[in-house]
Amino acid sequence: MSPTCPRRTASPSVAGRALPPVGVFALQGDVREHVAVLRALGADVREVRTPAQLAEVAGLVIPGGESSVMDKLSRIFGLRDPLRHRIAEGMPVYGTCAGLIMLADRLHDGIAGQATFGGLDVAVRRNAFGNQLDSFETDLDVAVLGEQPVHAVFIRAPVVDEVGPKVEVLAALDDGRIVAVEQGRLMGTSFHPEVAGESRFHRRFLDHVTAAS
C-alpha cells in the first residue's frame, strides 16, 4: 500500500473533525487490512513499532496474528511497557483476535510464559475452537452497531470465558460464547471485521478516539 495516497472519504463520525493520528500495532499481524479500513474512514493512520511512534498516536488498533509472537516482539522492541502505560491512562484501543488476547487481563491456554498487555477485565481462551472448527464465518447481531448483522470471520479465534462487572458484552454466538466486548474505550472482537468489508467497529473505535481527545 502506498503511504502517500491516503483515501480521505469522509465518514459521518469523523467528517469535519480534526481527528488526531491513530496507530496500528505493526510488529506482527494483519496490519495492512486495518490500515486500509481506517484510511477509508478518513483517519490519519500510522504504523506503530516503536515507543516514539506510539507517543504520536491517540488510539491504537491491535491486529489479528499470533499473540505469543506479539508478546515477544513487543518486549524486544521496548513497546510493551509504554503500551501498558498508555492503556492504563485511557488510550482507546481496539483489538481483533490476537489483539483481543493482548488486551485481556487473564489468558487461558497461552504458551509457557506468555503475557498480555491487559486492560480488559476478561479471561480469554486462545484457539478456543480447536482444530475441527479452526476457521469459520457467521453473521452476528451486534446491537450497538445497528440492525444490520456483522459478517464475522473467525480464524483460530479466541473466546471470552469470563467478564468482569465493568465489561459490556457486545456480541455472543448462538451457544452463548462471548466474542465481542467493550470496557470504557477498550474494545475487542474474537473475529476479523477488517477482512470482511465491515468498518463499523473501526468507526466506533474512531468515535472513542474523538471522545477521548
User: What is the binding site for ligand GLN (CB under 6 A)?
Assistant: 64-67, 97-98, 101, 126-127, 155-156
The residue (of 19 and 178) whose beta carbon lies closer to ligand GLN is 178
Residue-by-residue DSSP string for the chain:
--TT-------TTTTTS-PPPEEEE-SSSSHHHHHHHHHHTT--EEEE-SHHHHHT-S-EEE-SS-HHHHHHHHHHTT-HHHHHHHHHHT--EEEETHHHHHHEEEEESPPTT------EEEEEETTTTTTTTSEEEEEE--GGG-SSPEEEEEES--EEEEE-TTPEEEEE-TT--EEEEEETTEEEESS-GGGTT--HHHHHHHHHHHHH-
Residue carrying C-alpha cell 467478564:
163
The residue (of 19 and 170) whose beta carbon lies closer to ligand GLN is 170
For 70, phi then psi, to 5°, come to -60, -40
The residue (of 67 and 199) whose beta carbon lies closer to ligand GLN is 67
The residue (of 66 and 121) whose beta carbon lies closer to ligand GLN is 66
Could you tell me the smallest distance in angstroms from the CB atom of residue 207 to ligand GLN? 24
The residue (of 54 and 154) whose beta carbon lies closer to ligand GLN is 154
Could you tell me the smallest distance in angstroms from the CB atom of residue 156 to ligand GLN? 4
Could you tell me the smallest distance in angstroms from the CB atom of residue 15 to ligand GLN? 31
Could you tell me the smallest distance in angstroms from the CB atom of residue 132 to ligand GLN? 15
Question: Residue 159 corresponds to which cell in the numbers above?
Answer: 473466546
The catalytic residues are 97, 192, 194
For 45, phi then psi, to 5°, come to -110, 135
Residue 124 pairs in a beta bridge with 107, 160
Could you tell me the smallest distance in angstroms from the CB atom of residue 155 to ligand GLN? 4
